Copies of this chain bind each other. A is one copy, B any other.
Amino acid sequence: MAAENLLSGAAPVAAVLPAGGSGERLGSTTPKQFCALLGRPLISYTVRALERVNWISDIVVVVSLENIETMKSIIKKYGHKRITVVEGGMTRHRSIFNGLKIFPESTLSSCPLQKPEVVIIHDAVRPFVEEDILLKVVLAAKEHGAAGAIRPLVSTVVASSADGSLDHSLERVRYRASEMPQAFLFDIIYQAYHQCSDYDLDYGTECLQLALKYSKTNAKLIEGSPDLWKVTYKRDLYAAESIIKDNLSQQVCVTTDMKEDAVQFGFLLHKTLKSEVKVKDISVFLYKNDNHLQNTFSGQCYNFICINAEKSDIKETQQLIDILENAKISVLHPVVLISVHLNVSENMSFSSGMEELAGIKEFAREVKKKNILVYGLLIHYNKLQETINSAAAIISALIKDRNPELIGQLLVA
């Protein structure tokens, strides 16, 4: 892999993730890094974004004393690896310093961490960081000693005079917003923290500035993507949740039973979803073909449509759920499973229909405990293409919303 070649050599890359902040700016009592998005704390998304980068050897998460147990339980629940939890300080800089100290000091501890050549510093509240920008800052840090992601300014920056009037405004093109991730040769940033003043530790916010002031290192500035933004306000939580839902709804897997009707409907649905809704990939295959399903799981598909020609049969759906559970596919994200039923019996009474429906509700409630959201969809044949279009629209809506309150409902296309 390119990244591994570029980073070849014995010295590892580690990451420090300061997560000691309070929730003040969000107007919430929960610090923003612990706010739940689709049921999972924001910090778990950020940890996952670093954890999946295999050339990062250790991730040090720095949290305030009262959140250490919370953080440990998050690590356990979501199966995060290569994480060390460290207690933070009173300020951001003191927390980062605590995170850095763990490396030289860890030879004394029971769980030693190798001192890295390069250390990444990232924010717990920037969950959408990609491997690409991480690699760029690390390589630039190797060359220049320090590097950080920047973005163009969205607003003009102004300086105010003592009386609250405009003193001057900065020319927007000459300045940039300093974002995260940043990366440093470990010795450079560690030395800077050792030498800096209490005033720096208490009132400073910018690691690049410490490297400049105390290690005479002019950091390389690297243009990042808009996705690096910091989740700061409530609206940012809304935005983050929508982005996560959007990402999860890109890929759909369609399974059908052996009946000809189901296979035919599956292919038509496939075609319609592909042309009318943005879905990256759809696999139509027979239900028992586990190998194909396993491939789909490794492709990070979080949406499953099971088409049954027979009347509602929970057994087959249960089988898929077992496979999903074994693959641990729903540990990190809620999985949507839409059970589509063709040819609903004409002679069934409404009350027995209702009873069956109540059964699906009960079933869905149980399965939700595994983070799998089950919805039913009855196909009420009328005009075929119209019905397919309607089914595709409903499926697309269910996948995009991922609404836990509507599980177990039987919708009609």
State the A residues within 8 Å of B (CB): 25, 144, 146, 148, 150-151, 153-161, 164-170, 172-179, 203, 205-206, 208-209, 212, 218-221, 226-227, 229-230, 232-236, 238-243, 246, 344-354, 357-358, 361, 380, 382, 393-394, 396-397, 401, 403, 405-406, 409-412
Given contacts A144-B165, A157-B175, contact A344 B354 (CB under 8 A): yes
Alpha-carbon gap, A394 to B405, bound state (A): 6
Cross-chain contact of A156 among B158, B205, B233, B380 (Cβ < 8 A): B205
Cross-chain contact of A412 among B208, B239, B357, B401 (Cβ < 8 A): B357
Complex contact B394–A380 (CB within 8 A)? no
**Smallest beta-carbon distance A21→chain B, Å:** 13
Given contacts A178-B156, A220-B165, A230-B155, contact A352 B350 (CB under 8 A): yes
Cross-chain contact of A238 among B151, B159, B239 (Cβ < 8 A): B239
Alpha-carbon gap, A250 to B240, bound state (A): 22
Complex contact A164–B221 (CB within 8 A)? yes
Please name all residues of chain B whose beta carbon is closer than 8 Å to the beta carbon of A203 when the two chains form the complex.
Answer: 173
User: Interface of chain A, helix or strand or loop or mixed?
Assistant: mixed
Complex contact B232–A243 (CB within 8 A)? no
Q: How many copies does the complex hold?
A: 2
Cross-chain contact of A353 among B240, B350, B394 (Cβ < 8 A): B350
**Smallest beta-carbon distance A87→chain B, Å:** 25
Please name all residues of chain B whose beta carbon is closer than 8 Å to the beta carbon of A155 when the two chains form the complex.
Answer: 151, 177-179, 230
Complex contact A166–B353 (CB within 8 A)? no
**Smallest beta-carbon distance A393→chain B, Å:** 5
Please name all residues of chain B whose beta carbon is closer than 8 Å to the beta carbon of A410 when the two chains form the complex.
Answer: 412
Please name all residues of chain B whose beta carbon is closer than 8 Å to the beta carbon of A380 when the two chains form the complex.
Answer: 354, 358
Complex contact B169–A206 (CB within 8 A)? yes
Complex contact A221–B354 (CB within 8 A)? no
The 10 closest A-B pairs by CB, nearest first: A238-B242, A397-B405, A235-B239, A348-B350, A350-B353, A155-B177, A165-B218, A239-B239, A166-B219, A156-B178
Complex contact B409–A165 (CB within 8 A)? no
Cross-chain contact of A221 among B160, B227, B238 (Cβ < 8 A): B160
Complex contact B176–A160 (CB within 8 A)? yes
Alpha-carbon gap, A205 to B156, bound state (A): 8
**Smallest beta-carbon distance A266→chain B, Å:** 20
Complex contact B361–A351 (CB within 8 A)? no
Please, which residue of chain B has its CB at the minimum distance from the CB of A378? B354
Complex contact A226–B233 (CB within 8 A)? yes
Complex contact A219–B401 (CB within 8 A)? no
Please name all residues of chain B whose beta carbon is closer than 8 Å to the beta carbon of A406 when the two chains form the complex.
Answer: 394, 397, 411
Alpha-carbon gap, A235 to B179, bound state (A): 17
Complex contact B353–A221 (CB within 8 A)? no
Alpha-carbon gap, A313 to B11, bound state (A): 74
Alpha-carbon gap, A209 to B156, bound state (A): 10
Complex contact B175–A159 (CB within 8 A)? yes
Alpha-carbon gap, A220 to B164, bound state (A): 6
Please name all residues of chain B whose beta carbon is closer than 8 Å to the beta carbon of A154 when the two chains form the complex.
Answer: 177, 230, 232
Please name all residues of chain B whose beta carbon is closer than 8 Å to the beta carbon of A208 when the two chains form the complex.
Answer: 158, 166, 169
**Smallest beta-carbon distance A345→chain B, Å:** 7
* Residue among A172, A173, A238, A240 with the highest chain B CB neighbour number at 10 A: A238
Please, which residue of chain B has its CB at the minimum distance from the CB of A412? B357
Complex contact A169–B178 (CB within 8 A)? yes
Alpha-carbon gap, A364 to B56, bound state (A): 54
Complex contact A174–B159 (CB within 8 A)? yes
